[in-house]
Structure 1
Amino acid sequence: MNKFFLGLILLVLVVGFSVYAYLGGFNNPEIKVTTSKTQYIAGTYYAGPIEGEELGLVFRKAAEVLEKKELAGQLANIYYNSPEKQTDSLKAFIGILIQDTTAQLPAGYQLQKLPGGKKVVQATINAHYMLSPKKLYPALFEYLKKESLKNRQTYLEIFPNERSAFIQTEILP
């Protein structure tokens, strides 16, 4: 009986580690300083609780817009709060990074322009979008601290596909 439970626990651990590895959980972020490009995000502004149902609806709307091909692009978010300072509220612009600024926007969507030419720190990882922010932000903050860089408390997240992500934050002079 004990051998059975031990074997079962071992099997669950092996499967768990395998799934985590498959999703990119053991991949390390790549950090670099680069110059930002002008970006356009079509989406919705959200201010409210992190645990709120409304936040989930805003994210699902963005995924639905892509799925239904109402807009061509990639999931993208702009966060106006620092993830380092854990609070229970969030200020964000959630939507789709688009190339065609003349595209008809879905109802309730606005266009947000992020001007390019700014010096940014960019963290990139090949991992599932559910895992990537928890890997990218600590690496980004560690790099900023190690290099004694100050940053604007705004973070751009882009998910080019289900298995990759990057975050940028502007470096202050």
Structure 2
Amino acid sequence: MSKKFVVAVAVVVAIGVGIYAYLGGFSSPTVTVTTSEPLLLAGQPFEGTVNDEAFGNAFRKAAQIRDSKQLTGILGNVYYNSPETKKDSIKAFIGLVIQDSTVKLPEGYKLLRVPGGRKVVRSEVDAHYMVGPGKLYTSLFDYAEEEKLNLENFYVEWFPSDRKGIVEVPVKK
């Protein structure tokens, strides 16, 4: 190998590590047990494989609705099976966490009320939504295993900003 090749590879790796750090890739999630607050989501249900084009389109549609100000809210989703362990298929509700239930919804959107007052394991991380979800779920599952907590198959995630992610999972009674 030539020195130029080694230097070029080192520069590319350094840039990659820098981007990963900028996105919050080295941030550590905080995991707590708390009581959930009620949430209201406007979105669309999805059931299918994670590789389905419609799955990605649902996320893009939510971001487009938010960015165009059709609805005021933050990106949020509910998964009815574990997005980390169920790689082949997923059942979800994808959209925006909103405050006003009387707002006119975009075509194809419905309201989903997530009740509050439940004991949940909550994971938060200050990282871009491109790298945050993996960190959120790993830390949440590790914590639940360490504390011997059984979790429901109901995962609520939302992103208050491009650099913050939150996941809550109810603890089975």
CA drift of 1:84 comes to 4.2
Residues 59-70 of structure 1: pairs in structure 2 closer than 5 A: 59-70=59-70
Q: Which residue of 2 aligns with 1:82?
A: 82
Give the TM-score normalised by structure 2.
0.97
CA drift of 1:68 comes to 0.9
Q: Distance between the aligned counterparts of 1:90 and 1:43, measured in 2?
A: 16
Q: Which residue of 2 aligns with 1:171?
A: 171
Q: Which residue of 1 aligns with 2:33?
A: 33
Gaps of 5+ in 1: none
The residue type equivalent to 2:4 in the other structure is F
CA drift of 1:2 comes to 1.0
Give the TM-score normalised by structure 1.
0.97
C-alpha distance after superposition, 1:6-33 (max 9, x if no partner): 1111111111111100000000100011
The residue type equivalent to 2:131 in the other structure is L
The residue type equivalent to 1:96 in the other structure is L
Judged with a 3 Å threshold, the aligned counterparts in structure 2 of structure 1 residues 11 and 130 are, in CA distance, closer, same or farther, namely same
| Native 8 Å contact 2:76 2:97 kept in 1 | yes
Q: Is 2:43 aligned against 1:43? A: yes
Q: SS of 2:43's equivalent?
A: strand
CA drift of 1:87 comes to 3.3
CA drift of 1:57 comes to 1.2
Q: Which residue of 1 aligns with 2:17?
A: 17
Q: Distance between the aligned counterparts of 1:144 and 1:160, measured in 2?
A: 24
**Equivalences, count:** 173
Identity of aligned pairs, percent?
A: 45
Larger mean CA deviation between 150-159 and 77-86 belongs to 77-86
Q: Which residue of 2 aligns with 1:142?
A: 142
The residue type equivalent to 1:79 in the other structure is Y
Q: Distance between the aligned counterparts of 2:167 and 2:87, measured in 1?
A: 20
Q: SS of 1:138's equivalent?
A: helix
Q: Distance between the aligned counterparts of 1:84 and 1:13, measured in 2?
A: 27
Q: Distance between the aligned counterparts of 2:58 and 2:95, measured in 1?
A: 8
Q: Distance between the aligned counterparts of 1:107 and 1:87, measured in 2?
A: 29
Q: Which residue of 2 aligns with 1:91?
A: 91
Q: SS of 2:150's equivalent?
A: coil
Gaps of 5+ in 2: none
RMSD (Å), alpha carbons:
1.0
Q: Distance between the aligned counterparts of 1:15 and 1:63, measured in 2?
A: 28
Q: SS of 1:19's equivalent?
A: helix
Q: Distance between the aligned counterparts of 2:114 and 2:48, measured in 1?
A: 22
